[in-house]
Amino acid sequence: MDIGHLTWRKASRSTSNGGGCVEIAQFPDAAVGVRDSKDPEGPKLVFAPNDWHLFLTGAKAGQFDVP
């Protein structure tokens, strides 16, 4: 999978204070890539469109919040 041409953007909740930041990129087939902004050459995750939608829905609902 060629990802050299993708445009990565920082998550809207990321800050510039050196904390944990993620970036996402939209693939032409609607898949979504996720990477660590501090290590752009490091590992990346790729989600199918429906899986990404389910993750975002769960995150917004607090499904993954730490008690």
Question: Per the domain annotation, does 66 fall within a domain?
Answer: no
Question: Per the domain annotation, does 36 fall within a domain?
Answer: yes
Tell me if the pTM is above 0.85: no
How many CA within 13 A on the CB side of residue 39? 7
The number of domains in the chain is 1
Question: Per the domain annotation, does 1 fall within a domain?
Answer: no
Question: Per the domain annotation, does 16 fall within a domain?
Answer: yes
Question: Per the domain annotation, does 3 fall within a domain?
Answer: no
CA proximity to 5, closest of 22, 20, 27:
27
More confident of the two residues 12 and 49: 49
CA proximity to 12, closest of 65, 62, 63, 56:
56
Q: Which domain holds residue 31?
A: 9-60
Q: How confident is the model at residue 65 (pLDDT cuts 50, 70, 90)?
A: very high
Question: Per the domain annotation, does 2 fall within a domain?
Answer: no
pLDDT in tens, 14-43: 666 666 688 999 988 889 999 988 888 899
Question: Per the domain annotation, does 15 fall within a domain?
Answer: yes
